[in-house]
Amino acid sequence: MGASPRIVIVGASIGGLTVAETLRQEGFDGQIVLIGDERHRPYNRPPLSKQIINGEWEPDDAGIRSESEIDDLGIDLRTSCAAEALDVAGRVLHTTQGEIPFDELIIATGTEPRSHPLVPTALTLRTMDDALAIRDGLRSARRVAVIGPGILGSEIASAARKNGADTQLIGRSGTLTFGGVGALLSSRLVELHEAHGVELALNAEIVGASAGAGGTSILFADGSSERADLVVAMIGGAPRTQWLLSSGLTVDNGVVCDGTGSAAPGISAVGDVAAWRDPYTGTPVRVEHQSNAIEQAIAVALRLVHDEQVSRPVPLFWSELHGTRINAFGWFDQGLPFEPMDDSPAVLVSRDGTGRVHGAVGWAAPPREFRVARAAVAESSTLAPLH
Amino acid sequence: MGVVVQRDACVGAGQCALVAPDVFDQDDDGIVLLLEPEVEGALLVAATKAARLCPARAIAVSA
């Protein structure tokens, strides 16, 4: 990098902000430009589907750093600024607010949710503004339909029940899933939702919908239909890479990077948009968890400042459904035994035949008990590749 | 170096207590407990790592 090098970070969520903060903490004294296409300063996304939509928090409560803290770090934050194209050879980023030359570029643009192709009135959730729209809808909705059997679908159903709405959770695979844990917790999740009055339709094939003054009617393949005042669809997302189409970077379900997050000389990617090559399998893998974005961001910043290599992050994610806290750490091979630990029945572990613990779930588990299991996963992951 | 935690910002991810168990613990709700407000050497390194990993930025390490 030159005399006053400039690092430009595209995406002002937790991944982008963590790169910027870590660069400063590690002594980088060049320019840092952090651009985000939302109007908000950087905020945490996990509370969107929890405290924000159920009204416990106002948007400011989810903020990660205040404007003055960002200023004090010497970070040039530009909100409502979207990346439009990347000129890799010319070292220029084209944005809705003009061209920004760079020495190093970090891509942290995340994902965007898929709209439901058959239910156009369904809301979806990625941004603060999405969450506020769902919050407002939940305040008046008496009947809510949530499409999507993953963590986010479960969280929105949980919030809808908390608001007292009749709530239906719709999926088609027959099971409920929990991020990287897959369907291993399905029966527990079913029991939890049913105990809190969520109606489950987990083998439901949606064939269409009609919307009118009375809300949305969702039509199913068996000829039945369901009416709801508010429909929310959480059916997955796609990496936000449209602006990279002409860049020449390798984009294949995310920005393909080596095992250190480098996509090309001077260009790195972190977080949900990044597919880092797994050091053991050689396959590019995208991980959509906040802790992964943070750890990748730290790893890239340390590489840029010190040329330091950091070990691969272990997936960590959590949720709170109907007041039950569920934590997960590690990898969950659907074929391995998944059982409560002998002395900690609230902690379930995925263990292979050699006794190595690949992953652990705490189901309303005392934090100290879950940490013992986490330490076992962390130790196992350093011995030899688990996955 | 001093360590300060903001318990009302903590989201209970538990990263701090895992990477710096001599400095941080969690209460029964998972919220951070500060065990060691003054750190040096290896504990300082661990506390700095914990602050960085904290998704809520609820930990500050300062001189």
CB-nearest to B18 from A14, A295, A371 is A371
Residues A202 and A241 in one domain: no
Inform me whether the C-beta atom of residue A374 falls under 8 Å from chain B C-beta atoms: yes
* CB spacing of A46 vs B55 below 8 angstroms: yes
Residue B1 and residue B40 in contact, taking contact as beta carbons nearer than 8 Å: yes
Q: How far apart are CA A201 and CA A280, in angstroms?
A: 39
Q: What is the pLDDT of residues B49-58, one digit of tens each?
A: 999 999 999 9
Tokens of A5: 């090098």
Q: Where are the alpha helices (DSSP H) in A117-211?
A: 128-140, 151-162, 186-195
The reply to whether A327 touches chain B by the CB within 8 Å rule is yes
pLDDT for residue A308: 82
Please indicate, yes or no, whether residues A295 and A362 belong to a single structural domain of this protein: no
Contacts of B52 in chain A (CB under 8 A): 18, 21-22, 25, 294, 298
Closest approach of chain B CAs to the CA of A379, in angstroms?
Answer: 12
A43 occurs within a structural domain: yes
DSSP state letter for A174: S
Within this chain, do residues A121 and A90 fall inside the same structural domain, yes or no?
Answer: no
* Distances, alpha carbon A162 to alpha carbons A193, A322, A349, B46, in Å: 12, 8, 30, 39
Q: Is B35 on the interface with A (CB under 8 A)?
A: no
Distance from CA of B13 to the nearest CA of A (A): 8
Rounded to whole angstroms, the Cα distance separating A135 from B15 reads: 29
Q: Are residues A59 and A108 in the same domain?
A: yes
A34 domain-assigned: yes
Yes or no, beta carbons of A368 and B15 under 8 Å apart:
no
* A299 neighbourhood in chain B, CB within 8 Å: none
Q: What is the CATH number of the domain that holds A63?
A: 3.50.50.60
Nearest beta carbon to residue B30 from set A47, A325, A374 = A325
Our count of domains for chain A comes to 3
Could you tell me if B17 lies within 8 Å of chain A, comparing CB atoms? Answer: yes
Residues A122 and A228 occupy one common structural domain: yes
Count of domains for chain B: 1
Residues A144 and A184 in one domain: yes
Q: Which residue of A has its CA nearest to B51?
A: A22
Which residues of chain B have a CB within 8 Å of the CB of A378? 18
Nearest CA in chain B to A19: B52
Check whether residue A108 and residue A24 sit in a common domain.
yes
Question: Which residues on A lie below 8 Å from B56 (Cβ)?
Answer: 44, 64
Please indicate, yes or no, whether residues A121 and A219 belong to a single structural domain of this protein. Answer: yes
Distance of alpha carbon B32 from alpha carbon B10, whole angstroms? 7
Answer whether A130's CB lies under 8 Å from A144's CB.
no
User: Which residues make beta-bridge pairs with A170?
Assistant: A147, A201
Q: CA–CA separation, A178 vs A328, rounded Å?
A: 9
**Nearest 5°: CA angle at A179, between A200 and A302?**
160
With respect to residue A318, please indicate whether it lies within any of the assigned structural domains: no
User: Which phi and psi (to 5°) does residue A193 adopt?
Assistant: -65, -45
**DSSP annotation string for A268-310:** EE-GGGEEEEPTTT--EEE---HHHHHHHHHHHHHHHHH----
Same domain, A10 and A83: yes
User: Could you say which of A189, A218, A233 is where a domain stops?
Assistant: A233
**Pair A96, A245 in one domain:** yes
Distance in angstroms between the alpha carbons of the first and the last residue of chain B: 5
Could you tell me the two tokens for A14?
């937790």
Q: Which domain does A126 fall in, by range?
A: 115-233
Question: Among all residues of chain A, which has the CA nearest to that of B24?
Answer: A368
pLDDT block averages, 10 residues each, chain A of length 387: 84 97 95 96 92 92 92 97 97 98 98 96 96 96 97 97 96 96 97 98 97 93 96 96 97 96 97 91 90 95 89 86 95 93 93 91 94 88 59
Does the residue A270 lie in any domain?
yes
pTM for the full predicted model? 0.92
Determine, for residues A367 and B11 on separate chains, whether the beta-carbon distance falls below 8 Å.
no
Question: Rounded to whole angstroms, how far apart are CA atoms A257 and A121?
Answer: 36
Give the CATH number of the domain where residue B50 resides: 3.30.70.20
Residue A77 falls inside a structural domain = yes
Query: Domain limits at B32?
Result: 2-62
Tell me if A44 and B56 make a contact (CB, 8 A cut-off).
yes
ipTM of the complex: 0.90
Residues A261 and A297 in one domain: yes
Domain match, A244 and A95 both: yes
pLDDT for A312 equals: 74
Residue A319: closest CA among chain B residues belongs to which residue? Answer: B13
Instruction: Pick the last residue of a domain from A277, A306, A335.
Output: A306
- Best mutation site among B53, B54, B59, B62 for testing chain A: the one with the most A CBs within 10 Å? B53
| CB proximity under 8 Å: A 287-306 to B | 290-291, 294-295, 298
Looking at the complex, report in whole angstroms how far the Cα of residue A111 sits from the nearest Cα belonging to chain B.
19
Asked if B28 lies within 8 A of A366 by C-beta distance, the reply is yes
Give Cβ neighbours of residue A169 (< 8 Å, ≥ 6 apart): A146, A149, A153, A154, A157, A176, A193, A198, A199, A200, A201, A202
Query: Quick one: pLDDT at residue A383?
Result: 60
Please answer whether residues A13 and A35 qualify as being in contact, where contact means their C-beta atoms are separated by less than 8 angstroms. no
Least CA distance to A289: which residue of chain B?
Answer: B55
CB contact under 8 A, B14 and A327: yes
Which residue in the block uniquely carries the two structure tokens 């330091």?
A: A308
The whole-angstrom separation of Cα A151 and Cα B59 is 27
Q: Which residues have C-beta within 8 Å of that of residue A90, sequence separation ≥ 6?
A: none
pLDDT value, residue A307 = 87
Query: A317 in a domain, yes or no?
Result: no
Say which amino acid occupies A49: S
- pLDDT at position B29 is 86
Q: Determine the Cα–Cα distance for residues A87 and A209; give it in Å rounded to an integer.
A: 43
